[in-house]
Amino acid sequence: MKFGEKRGEVIRMDTYNMIDFNEKKGFICDMDGVIYHGNRVLPGVAEFIQWLHDENKEYLFLTNNSGYTPRELSQKLARMGLDVTEEHFYTSALATAAFLRDQAPGCSVFAIGEAGLLNALYDAGITMNDVNPDYVVVGEGRSYSLDTLTKATNLVWKGAKLIGANSDVSGPIENGIVPACRALVAPIEMATGTQAYFCGKPNPLMMRTGLRMLHCHSAEAVMVGDRMDTDVISGMESGMSTVLVLSGGLGNLIDRIAFGYVTDMFRTLFMNFAVFNVADICITVGAVWLAVYVLFGYEKLEKKSKKEAPTHDGTDLSSDDT
């Protein structure tokens, strides 16, 4: 049976109705932790991408990693044996550049980041300025040092507005985690008493751009990610169906679509209980935490999203018309 072949109109897991992926027009997928860890592609990803091609699905890899350009991401996947062209990528660096271009055309910035962020800013007509910039923009990168941190801190202290490419605190790598943008912005915020504005997920501006690129309505699209605080929340707020990938969850997702079932690993002999596997455990725990987050943490996120973003003219970015 080929990947994605139907067995009934609706995919089910026990008594729970699942998303009918065959009926969805577009797919927005996170990358780190969903497609790969570091330089290692995760199991089932090649089959998933092949299914997207075979079924003529619109898809976009929407990543908060600001360090890479779309071309570099395409080449990275090519080294892993995955054929994905540049137009299928959208990064928080591109979202940041688009935000600054729309809010303050011709502005200048002091930027801390890699080629992905710097190229996006240049392409948006934004100039570099380490004397009196309008904005200090921070992304991930190896150029982060005490000297650049001190320089950025003093520029913000003197009046430059602070922008973060994304609000991720950490990111997954092959042998652990790495500090991400939010962790790198935090010292500047603490030293200056200034709160940064973040352009990546879960900012709805980035999600709306992704849907426009797919030419999809939110009801026709699925968001696939591994973080509840960015991927799942941004998908929910945009009205999309959401899939949370946790430690083997993508393998379960693939098995559900292809075969209508997953391979089970554990069966309790001392009591009459359901047969299950590791991914089922992770999905269940993740669902419980998601419920807790939505019930008790969602209000804080909603209040934060309504705060006014830094602009030249005082425009309130909480409006959907921005």
Catalytic residues: 30, 32
CA dihedral sign, ordered 231, 234, 236, 238: negative
Q: Give the CA distances from residue 6 to residues 135, 147, 243, 245, 254, in Å, rounded to whole numbers and listed in that order.
A: 51, 57, 19, 22, 12
What lies within 8 Å, CB to CB, of 115 at 6+ separation is: 67, 68, 69, 72
Asked if the bond preceding 202 is cis, omega within 30° of 0, the reply is yes
Distance CA 20, CA 15 (A): 15
Return d(Cα 250, Cα 41) in angstroms, integer: 12
Angstrom distance (rounded) from CA 121 to CA 50: 33
* Residues near 4 by beta carbon (within 8 Å), at least 6 away in sequence: 21, 22, 51, 54, 55, 257, 258
77 in Cβ contact with 48 (< 8 Å): no
Dihedral sign computed on CA atoms, order 183, 184, 185, 189:
positive
How far apart are alpha carbons 119 and 116 in whole angstroms? 6
